Each structure stands twice: as structure tokens, then as C-alpha cells.
Amino acid sequence: MRLLIATLLLAAGVSGVHARQIEIDRTLQRVYGTAIMSSDVRQARLLRLLPGAGDDDRSLLTGLENRLLMLREVTRSTTADPEAAAIAARRRDWLATLPPGTDVAATMARTGMTDQTLDAWFRDDLKVEAYLTQRFGQPGDPARDRRIGPWLADLRRRANLTGK
């Protein structure tokens, strides 16, 4: 009798697990074969990796899409890899944007970011910025933004990301 009750309780517990599935991660978008996952959006939010993109999921997803589109263009150019000192400076600038008392190591661990992947992120940021400067002029130039906007819209159209 005890075995029967235990079996019934175990079966009820297992069926309850199936009814309450928890989503761990999912693909939100693909940009030229590269998946953007919900964890990527969460990582960008918690680590503040996309300044100016906003804090809502839609804005962050669009920021990640745009970043991938620009990186694809960078790979088609002859943009040099940034120096280690420039990457370290970019990291220091990023750290200054975080709220005081932020446990950076814990936040990075929670989001699955390592020091190497963070440095790669900053390396890519610097490459994109060098490309944009080379092609569209210095940051702060009002004409630069007027030229980048249509170019980015064209990249989105070619990648079938328009209207999203």
C-alpha cells in the first residue's frame, strides 16, 4: 500500500513539473545566421553594454541587431584591431558607467560573461567606432548621425529586419 501511495505521489509530482515548464533561453532573432538569444538581451541590460539603446527588451534587441549588422560591415573593410591599451581604456570607461557598489564579477558570472568575452566585446566596439569614423566622420559631427541613420536603415532592409 505504501508503495502504491508513493508511486502515485511521485507520478503527480512529475506531471506537475511538465505543467510548469520554465523557459531558460530562446532565440529572438537571427542576423545573417547569428542567433540573438533572450540571454543576450539580458546580458546587454545587466552589463549596460549598449549605451543609448534604452532598457526595454525591444530596444536592446534592436541595438544587438544593429551591432551585428555593423560588425558584418567592419569585417568587409580593412579596419585594424585596436591596441590592448585602447581596449583597457574602453573597459575603464564602461566600469565608470556602472552604479557605485556594483559587484562586477558577480554580475558577469550571472550573465555568463567572461573577461575574455568582455574584452572581445570592447574590441568589436572600437572596431565599429573606427569604421564609422573612417566612413562618416568624427563623433559629435551633426552630419555624421544624418549619414549613419540611412546607412543603418539600408543594412536592416538588406538583412530583412525592416518593420520590426
Number of structural domains the chain divides into: 1
Assess whether pLDDT exceeds 90 at residue 63.
yes
Q: Answer yes or no: is 64 within a domain.
A: yes
The beta strand positions in 32-132, using DSSP E, are 34-37
The mean per-residue pLDDT over the stretch 121-128 comes to 98
135 in any annotated domain: yes
Distance CA 44, CA 61 (A): 9
d(CA 98, CA 75): 30
Domain contains 9: no
pTM (2 d.p.): 0.83
Greater confidence, 16 or 69?
69
User: Which of these, 87, 76, 79, 43, lies nearest to 61 by C-alpha position?
Assistant: 43
Tell the residue number behind the cell numbers 581596449, with chain if given: 87
Is 26:39 a contact under the CB 8 Å cutoff?
no
| Parent domain of 35 | 23-158
The answer as to whether 3 is a domain residue is no
Establish if 82 belongs to a structural domain: yes
72, part of any domain: yes
Give the pLDDT score at 145: 87
